[in-house]
Amino acid sequence: MKSIFSHEYDIFRRCMIAARKKAKLTQVNLAKSLNKPQSFVAKYENGERRLDVIEFMFVSHAIGIDPCDILRKIEQEVSNTSNEEET
């Protein structure tokens, strides 16, 4: 299934997945800590749904990462991608 989201949102998804894996959490573990079904995590990780800002904050905290750190990482990745496309 092709994502309807932008390249930048794809970077966001990949950063969120990497942060979850770095925290050694499975989708099931993360979903349980959020009181959500595992499909909630799977759907935003697969690009089937977006996280809103409040959900993003809750997910970030459940992973154990500061939301600002994730946003900085995303900004860096987007900037790196833009610079590569210009050259």
Task: For residue 45, give the nearest of 71, 72, 66, 19 by alpha carbon.
Answer: 19
Task: For residue 60, give the nearest of 49, 48, 47, 73 by alpha carbon.
Answer: 73
User: pTM value?
Assistant: 0.86
Place domain 7-82 in its CATH homologous superfamily.
lambda repressor-like DNA-binding domains (1.10.260.40)
Q: Which residues contact 48 (CB under 8 A, 6 or more apart)?
A: 1, 42
Per-residue pLDDT tens for 32-80? 999 999 999 999 999 999 999 999 999 999 999 999 999 999 999 988 8
Per-residue pLDDT tens for 5-31? 788 889 999 999 999 999 999 999 999
Task: For residue 14, give the nearest of 78, 79, 62 by alpha carbon.
Answer: 78
pLDDT of residue 42: 97
Please report which confidence band the pLDDT of residue 1 belongs to, taking 50, 70 and 90 as the band edges.
very low
Domain ranges of the chain: 7-82
Q: If you average pLDDT over every residue of the chain, what do you get? A: 91
